[in-house]
Amino acid sequence: MTDGKLIACPECDLLQREVHVPEGGALRCRRCHAQLYRDLPNGLDRALAFSLAAVVLFGVSNVYPIVGLSVNGTVVETTLLGAVNVLYNDGKWPIAGLVFATTVLMPILQTVSMLWLLVPLKFDRTPWGGPVIFRLCCLCQPWGMTEVLILGLLVALVKLSHIAAVVVGPALWSFGALMFVLAAAGAAFDTRILWLRVAAVEHTDAAPDLDDSLPHGAVTAAQCGLALCHDCGLLARVQAHGHGFSCPRCDAAMHLRKPASLSRTWALLIAAIVMYIPANVLPVMYTNSLFGSQNDTILSGVVYLWTSGSWPLAIVVFVASIAVPMLKILALGYLTLSTQLHSRWYPVERTRIYRIVELVGRWSMLDIFVITMLVALVQFKALATIQAGNAAIAFGAVVVLTMFAAMTFDPRLMWDEVEQDHAGTRAEA
């Protein structure tokens, strides 16, 4: 444990050293069990191949229709961009923008960013503007939601099958393939190996040696005056003022702890709670047909799926659209309050809760994608039309606010209290 470079856990700030990891294995933090890095054989080459495939699938997915409805010889088909346009023309531009950003803009930017970095490295060249493009890739990664879109399309198909004959378009299959390709590209894109390759091309050190002047008995990076870059994973010395400095490698903003983490998390959570009420009370969808008008809330949509026999999808929609947002708000509220009260209870379990919250938050977009497809396809004028309600805007705001709240919360603050206990014990000893 003395010859490896120092690394810090992004979730508990524990200082550790790099060790050899078997091929395909992963190194986890010995305190909070967060994954620090993996050994992925030929990871960057695989990420390059998957990214190139994703570009082709993006073109097919956005040119051809996803799905269509056939009623009395009249066929209504839509592409993803066509569905976004219908929402925009109906005056629901916030939802249109959110769907466009999460299913088109962010996945494309992430894929292009990876190609921008990987293609030059394949030919032993330094990517032009590498730090900026790398940060763009990191920014886009949490907001690409192709896998949630696919599940939303499946739920929409079940609902549409009760209205008219469903015609599956080529884009549905290409979106399914795109989901797996993007997931594979993201999993293979190893930022640690990326910066080692960049350093090899530029003939520089991938990371500075920080071992010479570490305080005796130091446990965390903060105790050593070191800060971790959450984008590229570099450990760097804190500047004299202690805040607002940039990573020497990727130019991302660095801090010992996220600034005003708790107050910003509270502000975002309170805003999400306020929006959660109209999201579940107001109609999320308006249906007009020959048989009259009907207003549907999120819960009534779940009831419809259940009574129509599609109980597995009813459970999925209930969990993703009702349970997950509520539990995410409660979990983040618990983590923020316990940290603010300087609780030292169960830090490992609380860190695990934070990890789960980050993982499941994106799936709450399921209902937004279902509404998008229904609004775009059920446009039969005198026969039947569906429009999005204001609850859809409120629900989209809940999803975005809770995702920002999870990003703003700094889990290392929970471990700072534990460190104070340990420091006092060591001082008494």
Residue-wise pLDDT tens digits, 368-391: 888 888 888 776 655 667 788 888
State how far the Cα of 95 lies from the Cα of 369, in Å rounded to an integer.
Answer: 10
Per-residue confidence (pLDDT) for residue 168, from 0 to 100: 85
> What is the dihedral angle through the alpha carbons of 200, 204, 205, 208, rounded to the nearest 10 degrees?
-160
CB 109 within 8 A of CB 140: yes
pTM of the model: 0.88
Supply the pLDDT for residue 94. Answer: 92
Instruction: Fill in the DSSP letter of residue 364.
Output: G
How far is 35 from 19, CA to CA, in rounded Å?
13
Tens-digit pLDDT profile for residues 28-68: 998 889 988 888 888 899 999 999 999 999 999 988 988 88
Instruction: Quick: pLDDT tens for 313-347.
Output: 788 888 888 888 999 999 999 999 999 998 888 89
For 110-143, the DSSP string reads: HHHHHHHHHHHHHTT-PPTTHHHHHHHHHHHGGG
Task: Write the DSSP string, 209-263.
Answer: ---TTPPTT--BTGGGTEEE-TTT--EEEPPTT-SSEE-TTT--EE-SS-TTHHH
The pLDDT value given to residue 215: 59
Q: State both tokens at 290.
A: 């020959």
Write the DSSP string, 152-170. HHHHHHHHHHTTSEEEE-H
Specify whether the CB–CB gap between 371 and 388 falls below 8 A. yes
Q: What is the pLDDT of residue 363?
A: 87
Per-residue pLDDT, 243: 59
Determine contact, residues 412/339, Cβ cutoff 8 Å.
no
**pLDDT < 70 positions in the chain:** 1-4, 73, 203, 205-218, 240-244, 289-293, 379-384, 420-429
Q: Given this model, what pLDDT does residue 383 score?
A: 61
β pairing state of 245-246 and 253-254: antiparallel
- What are the two backbone dihedrals, phi and then psi, of residue 35, each rounded to the nearest 5 degrees? -75, 125
- Residue 310 CA from chain centroid, whole number: 28
User: What domains does the chain contain, in order, with CATH numbers?
Assistant: 6-42+197-258 (no CATH), 44-172 (no CATH), 261-429 (1.20.140)
- Return the closest-CA partner of residue 378 out of 289, 298, 290, 293: 289
Quote the pLDDT of residue 371: 86
pLDDT at 201: 85
